[in-house]
Amino acid sequence: MKTTPYLSFNGDCRQAFERYKQIFGGDTFQMTYGEAPPPPADAPPPPEGCGDLSAAADRIMHVTLAHGQEAFLMGSDMPPGMEKKPGGISVAVNCDDNAEAERVFKALAEGGTVQMPMAETFWAERFGMVIDRFGTPWLINGIYKQP
């Protein structure tokens, strides 16, 4: 079993994933609401509160940031009539070296809010917490300390 974080946005998903691609590398694959196939003629109306999807034609319906065949992050803009709500979840990134952890932290902190600066902790040589400019909380770990 494998999990992949799926992030929700209120209209800035495209910009967020462009930034994440710069930071983490990989390739993005995306579809806008306007590119989605139309529903079948006999489909029931969308659930109440979904709103008119044609108003969101340029918004991202789904995006994947992948390294080869491995999805790293996924996300979308919320459909019209719905909005992103705080969810009590953070994305943890575990780096193989401390320099990479510092680079990732610094890049995510640009325009964001540092919750805990990068520092040594009892479990890792480097650790920091940041909320990026798109509102996503991140936990960045460097090299883990041996028990």
Residues 75 and 142 in one domain: no
pLDDT value at position 112?
96
Pairwise CA distance, residues 94 & 98, whole Å: 10
* SS3 state of residue 21: helix
Q: Which two tokens stand for residue 96?
A: 């193989």
pTM value surpassing 0.75? yes
Q: Summarize pLDDT for 117-142 with one digit per residue, the tens.
A: 999 998 899 999 999 999 999 999 99
Q: Are residues 36 and 96 in the same domain?
A: no
- Segment (H or E) for 116: strand 113-119
**Residue 141: other Cβ atoms inside 10 A:** 20
Rounded CA-CA distance 125/141 in Å is 8
CATH number for position 122: 3.30.720.110
Q: Is 62 in the same domain as 116?
A: no
Mean pLDDT confidence for 57-65: 93
Q: CB neighbours of 44 closer than 8 A, spacing ≥ 6?
A: none
14, 69: one domain: yes
Q: Which residues contact 54 (CB under 8 A, 6 or more apart)?
A: 33, 34
Residue 95: its pLDDT value, please? 94
Question: Could you tell me which of 32, 25, 90 has the C-alpha nearest to residue 62?
Answer: 32
- At residue 111, does pLDDT exceed 90? yes
d(CA 125, CA 107): 19
Whole-number percent of the chain with pLDDT over 90: 64
Cα–Cα distance between 100 and 141 in angstroms, integer?
10
Number of domains present in the structure of the chain = 2
- List the domain range (segments joined by +) for residue 141: 86-146
